[in-house]
Chains A and B, each alone.
Chain A
Amino acid sequence: MKTRQLFFLLALTGLIMAPALAKGSDLLIKNGKILTVTRGVLDRGDVLIRNGIIQAVGTDLQAPPGIRTYDASGKYVMPGIIDSHTHIALSGTNESADTDTAEVDMADVLNAEDLSIFTALSGGATTACTMHGSANPIGGQNVVLKLKWGRPSQDMVVSEAFRTLKFALGENPKRANRSDADEARYPQSRMGVKALIRRELLRARAYMEQWDRYLAQKQSKNPAVLLPPRKDLRLEALADLLRGKLLARVHTYRADETLEFLGLAREFGFKVACFEHIPEAFKITPELKEAGVGTSVFIDSWAYKIEAAEGIALSAAYCTRQGILVSLNSDGGEGIRRLFNEAGKTLRYGRLTEEEALRLITINPAIQLGVDKIVGSLEAGKHGDLAVFNEHPLSAYARCDLTVIEGEVYFDRAAYLQEREEAAKRAKAPKQTGGAR
Chain B
Amino acid sequence: MKQTAMLFLCLVFLFWTAPAQAADVGPAYAVVNCKVVPVSGPVLEKGTIVIRDGLIEAVGPADKISVPEDAEVIDGQGLTAYPGLLDAHSQVFLEPAREEPSGLGRGGPPQPQPAAPQGFTPELQAFKLLKPTKAERAGLHRLGFTTVLVAPAKGIFAGQSVLLNLNGDKTEAMVVRQPVALHINFATERGVYPSSLMGTMAALRQSFLDAQDYARHQEAWQASPRRFKRPEYSPFLESLLPYVVGKRLVIFTCANQEDIRRAISLAEEFKLNVLLSGANEAWRVVEAVKKARLPLLISLSFKPPLTSLYANQGEEVKKKAEDEIYPANPAALCKAGLSFALTSYGLTKVDDVLKNTQAAIKAGLPREEALKALTIHPARFLGVEAMLGSLEAGKMANIILTSGEIFEEKTQVKKIFVDGQMFTPEKAPPAGAGPAAVSLTGSWQGKIVSPMGEVDISLELDQQGSQVTGTATVMGNKRDIGEGNLSGNALAFTIQTEIMGQAMSFSFQGTVDKDVIQGSMATPMGSADVRLSKVPQD
Cβ contact within 8 Å between A233 and B191: no
Cβ contact within 8 Å between A183 and B258: no
Cβ contact within 8 Å between B307 and A91: yes
B261 within 8 Å of A by Cβ? Answer: yes
Cβ contact within 8 Å between A186 and B201: no
Contact of A8 among B206, B217, B317 (CB under 8 A): B317
B355 within 8 Å of A by Cβ? Answer: no
Cβ contact within 8 Å between A8 and B110: no
Q: In the bound complex, how far is the Cα of B350 from the Cα of A341, in angstroms? A: 55
B108 within 8 Å of A by Cβ? Answer: yes
Q: Which residues of A contact B258 (CB under 8 A)?
A: 91, 109-112, 153
Cβ contact within 8 Å between A231 and B209: yes
Contact of B309 among A15, A183, A233 (CB under 8 A): A15
Q: Which residues of B contact A186 (CB under 8 A)?
A: 108-110
Report A1-30 residues with CB < 8 Å from chain B CB. 1, 4-5, 8-9, 11-12, 15
Q: What mask results when residues 65 to 106 of chain A are scored 1 for a CB within 8 Å of chain B, else 0? A: 000000000000000000000000001101111111101111
A113 within 8 Å of B by Cβ? Answer: yes
Q: In the bound complex, how far is the Cα of B314 from the Cα of A397, in angstroms? A: 33
Q: Which residues of A contact B501 (CB under 8 A)?
A: 1, 4
Contact of B199 among A8, A95, A112, A227 (CB under 8 A): A95
Contact of A98 among B110, B228, B310 (CB under 8 A): B110
Q: What mask results when residues 416 to 437 of chain A are scored 1 for a CB within 8 Å of chain B, else 0? A: 0000000000000000000011
A230 (CB) vs chain B CBs: closest residue: B213
Cβ contact within 8 Å between B285 and A152: yes
B386 within 8 Å of A by Cβ? Answer: no
Q: Which residues of B contact A227 (CB under 8 A)?
A: 216-217, 220, 228
**Distance from B306 Cβ to chain A, minimum over Cβ atoms (Å):** 9
Contact of B113 among A106, A234, A436 (CB under 8 A): A234
Q: Which residues of A contact B192 (CB under 8 A)?
A: 97
Cβ contact within 8 Å between A108 and B196: no
Q: In the bound complex, how far is the Cα of B220 from the Cα of A231, in angstroms? A: 17
Q: In the bound complex, how far is the Cα of B202 from the Cα of A132, in angstroms? A: 14
Q: In the bound complex, how far is the Cα of B308 from the Cα of A153, in angstroms? A: 13
B231 (CB) vs chain A CBs: closest residue: A227
**Distance from A197 Cβ to chain B, minimum over Cβ atoms (Å):** 13
Contact of B257 among A92, A140, A152, A228 (CB under 8 A): A152
Cβ contact within 8 Å between A97 and B206: no
B316 (CB) vs chain A CBs: closest residue: A436
Report A339-381 residues with CB < 8 Å from chain B CB. none
Q: Which residues of B contact A94 (CB under 8 A)?
A: 196
A184 within 8 Å of B by Cβ? Answer: yes
**Distance from B35 Cβ to chain A, minimum over Cβ atoms (Å):** 42
Contact of A91 among B106, B197, B284 (CB under 8 A): B197
B205 within 8 Å of A by Cβ? Answer: yes
Q: Which residues of B contact A313 (CB under 8 A)?
A: none
Q: What mask results when residues 391 to 422 of chain B are scored 1 for a CB within 8 Å of chain A, else 0? A: 00000000000000000000000000000000
Q: What mask results when residues 267 to 310 of chain B are scored 1 for a CB within 8 Å of chain A, else 0? A: 00000000000000000110010000000000000000001111
Interface size counted on chain B using CB atoms at 8 A: 47
Contact of A11 among B107, B213, B220, B309 (CB under 8 A): B309
A185 within 8 Å of B by Cβ? Answer: yes
**Distance from B199 Cβ to chain A, minimum over Cβ atoms (Å):** 4
Q: What mask results when residues 149 to 179 of chain A are scored 1 for a CB within 8 Å of chain B, else 0? A: 0001110000000000000000000000000
B131 within 8 Å of A by Cβ? Answer: no
B194 within 8 Å of A by Cβ? Answer: yes
Q: In the bound complex, how far is the Cα of B110 from the Cα of A331, in angstroms? A: 28
Cβ contact within 8 Å between A8 and B312: yes
Cβ contact within 8 Å between B198 and A104: yes
Cβ contact within 8 Å between A104 and B201: yes
A103 (CB) vs chain B CBs: closest residue: B202
**Distance from A13 Cβ to chain B, minimum over Cβ atoms (Å):** 10
Given A113-B307, A233-B205: A152 touches B110 (CB 8 Å cut-off): no
Cβ contact within 8 Å between B197 and A103: no
Q: Which residues of A contact B313 (CB under 8 A)?
A: 5, 8-9, 11-12
Cβ contact within 8 Å between A104 and B285: no
B480 within 8 Å of A by Cβ? Answer: no
Given A5-B314, A111-B258, A227-B216: A97 touches B198 (CB 8 Å cut-off): no
Contact of A103 among B206, B220, B314 (CB under 8 A): B206
A115 within 8 Å of B by Cβ? Answer: yes
Interface centre among A101, A104, A154, by most chain B C-beta atoms within 10 angstroms, is A104
**Distance from B314 Cβ to chain A, minimum over Cβ atoms (Å):** 6
Cβ contact within 8 Å between A109 and B197: yes
Q: Which residues of B contact A111 (CB under 8 A)?
A: 258, 307
Q: In the bound complex, how far is the Cα of B288 from the Cα of A253, in angstroms? A: 42
Cβ contact within 8 Å between B262 and A108: yes
Q: What mask results when residues 360 to 376 of chain B are scored 1 for a CB within 8 Å of chain A, else 0? A: 00000000000000000
Q: What mask results when residues 196 to 236 of chain A are scored 1 for a CB within 8 Å of chain B, else 0? A: 00000000000000000000000000000101101111100
Q: Which residues of B contact A91 (CB under 8 A)?
A: 197, 258, 307
Q: In the bound complex, how far is the Cα of B288 from the Cα of A183, in angstroms? A: 43
Q: In the bound complex, how far is the Cα of B195 from the Cα of A99, in angstroms? A: 12
Q: Which residues of A contact B308 (CB under 8 A)?
A: 113
B506 within 8 Å of A by Cβ? Answer: no
Interface centre among B202, B216, B224, B317, by most chain A C-beta atoms within 10 angstroms, is B202
Cβ contact within 8 Å between B107 and A184: yes
Interface centre among B198, B209, B261, B316, by most chain A C-beta atoms within 10 angstroms, is B198
A187 (CB) vs chain B CBs: closest residue: B109
Cβ contact within 8 Å between A98 and B257: no
Report A103-156 residues with CB < 8 Å from chain B CB. 103-106, 108-113, 115, 132, 140, 152-154
**Distance from B170 Cβ to chain A, minimum over Cβ atoms (Å):** 43
B385 within 8 Å of A by Cβ? Answer: no
**Distance from A95 Cβ to chain B, minimum over Cβ atoms (Å):** 4
Given A4-B501, A92-B196, A109-B201: A12 touches B314 (CB 8 Å cut-off): no
Cβ contact within 8 Å between B309 and A100: no
**Distance from B232 Cβ to chain A, minimum over Cβ atoms (Å):** 11
Q: Which residues of B contact A4 (CB under 8 A)?
A: 501
Q: In the bound complex, how far is the Cα of B199 from the Cα of A100, in angstroms? A: 11
Q: What mask results when residues 181 to 198 of chain B are scored 1 for a CB within 8 Å of chain A, else 0? A: 000000001011111111
Cβ contact within 8 Å between A140 and B261: no
**Distance from B467 Cβ to chain A, minimum over Cβ atoms (Å):** 24
Q: Which residues of A contact B113 (CB under 8 A)?
A: 98, 232, 234
Given A101-B199, A152-B261: A95 touches B193 (CB 8 Å cut-off): yes
Given A1-B501, A108-B198: A232 touches B316 (CB 8 Å cut-off): no
Q: In the bound complex, how far is the Cα of B307 from the Cα of A277, in angstroms? A: 30
Cβ contact within 8 Å between A101 and B317: no
Given A12-B313, A111-B258, A111-B307: A95 touches B196 (CB 8 Å cut-off): yes
**Distance from A188 Cβ to chain B, minimum over Cβ atoms (Å):** 11
Q: Which residues of B contact A5 (CB under 8 A)?
A: 313-314
B105 within 8 Å of A by Cβ? Answer: yes
17 of the cross-chain contacts (CB-CB < 8 Å) are A8-B314, A8-B317, A91-B307, A95-B198, A97-B106, A98-B110, A101-B202, A104-B196, A104-B201, A109-B196, A110-B258, A115-B309, A152-B285, A152-B288, A225-B224, A227-B228, A437-B316
B contacts, CB < 8 Å to A: 105-110, 113, 189, 191-199, 201-202, 205-206, 209-210, 213, 216-217, 220, 224, 227-228, 257-258, 261-262, 284-285, 288, 307-310, 312-314, 316-317, 501
Ranked nearest first, the 7 interchain pairs of A and B with the lowest CB-CB distance are A97-B195, A8-B313, A108-B201, A95-B199, A104-B198, A97-B193, A103-B202
Given contact pairs A108-B202, A115-B312, a sample of 6 additional A-B residue pairs in the complex whose CB atoms are under 8 Å apart: A1-B501, A109-B258, A225-B224, A231-B209, A233-B202, A234-B202
